[in-house]
Structures are given as C-alpha cells and as structure tokens.
Copies of this chain bind each other. A is one copy, B any other.
Amino acid sequence: MISKSCQYAIRAAVFLASRADENLKMNVKIIAKEIDAPEAFTAKTLQILNKHSIITSLKGPHGGFFIEEHQLDAPILNIVNAIDGLQIFKSCGLGLKKCSETNPCPFHNDYKILRDAMLSTFEKTTIRILAHNLENGDPFLLAGR
C-alpha cells in the first residue's frame, strides 16, 4: 500500500505531534527508539519531512526535530507525497499505462472506487487527528508503549 519508509514517516510525525505541547525538540535517537525504526534511516526520513516543511528541525545543542502548531493540520497525504509520491492514487490497478477514464481496463471501475476512498482518507486524516487518537480515546500505542 504505502512504503515502509512512509509508515516510519507517519509514525514519526504523529509521535512528534503527540508531544508538540511546549517547544520541546527531540533528537533522532529518541524518535527512532520511540517509533521502533532504525536510527540512521529515521534520520533520513526526518530530513525529507523537514525539507517538505511537514516538521521542523534545529541543529545544535538542545536542537532536534519538532512540529509546530500550524503544521499539525497537514493531511497525512502530504507525508505520502513527500516520501512515496502520489502515483498510487493515480495509477491503474493492473499496472497498465494506457488505462484511463476514457480507455478503462477491465478492473478500472471497481479499482477506482478503492483508490479514491484511499485518497479521501489520507486527505482528511490530519497529523493532529492521529496524534489526538494516540493521546485520548481508546486507540493507543505507537511502538512498544
């Protein structure tokens, strides 16, 4: 569905969001541990998110990664876009390049419904919502918490 890197990225963003209270920055080591992802790889992922302004970073002592108030309402679709691109939401279910609305493959109509549902869910689910689910309410857990 979405790549492993992208799952790490969403987990990282949601974790940061769940601790966005103060201007508390968190370093790669802590984040990687918390979301149960390889440290060096997480660093790369966080760099990409920062470059896309999905999270924010600051170098030096007491620096680290954090998420700002105005970044919380970004849909997780933005994260998918930053890491995997949006091709999944556009391409044919059977992998045919020439498949389109006017020239549909035999699976097109059924598949389009699924694809659009995915897009819609990723579009309306914001980082804030997932962070909120994590904190309050029944759904909990990120890594081994």
Q: Which residues from chain B contact A8 at a C-beta distance below 8 Å?
A: 95
A121 interfacial contact with B, CB 8 Å: yes
Contact residues on A (Cβ < 8 Å of other chain), bracket:
35 or more
Shortest Cβ distance from residue A6 to the other chain B in the assembled complex, whole angstroms: 9
Evaluate contact between A10 and B94: CB separation under 8 angstroms: yes
List residues 1-58 of chain A with CB under 8 A from any CB of chain B: 1-2, 4, 7-8, 10-11, 14, 36
Evaluate contact between B139 and A95: CB separation under 8 angstroms: no
Among candidates B99, B118, B121, B141, residue contacting A141 with C-beta atoms closer than 8 Å: B99
Evaluate contact between B7 and A95: CB separation under 8 angstroms: yes
The complex places the Cα of A64 from the Cα of B128 at a distance, in Å, of 56
Among candidates B98, B130, B138, residue contacting A144 with C-beta atoms closer than 8 Å: B98
Given contacts A7-B94, A117-B117, contact A107 B88 (CB under 8 A): no
Who on chain B is nearest to A100 by CB? B141
Identify the interface centre among A2, A109, A139, A144: most chain B CB within 10 Å of its CB: A139
List residues 74-119 of chain A with CB under 8 A from any CB of chain B: 76, 88, 93-96, 98-99, 103-111, 113-114, 117-118
Among candidates B1, B106, B134, residue contacting A88 with C-beta atoms closer than 8 Å: B1
Shortest Cβ distance from residue A41 to the other chain B in the assembled complex, whole angstroms: 13
Who on chain B is nearest to A139 by CB? B104
Evaluate contact between A96 and B4: CB separation under 8 angstroms: no
Shortest Cβ distance from residue A77 to the other chain B in the assembled complex, whole angstroms: 12
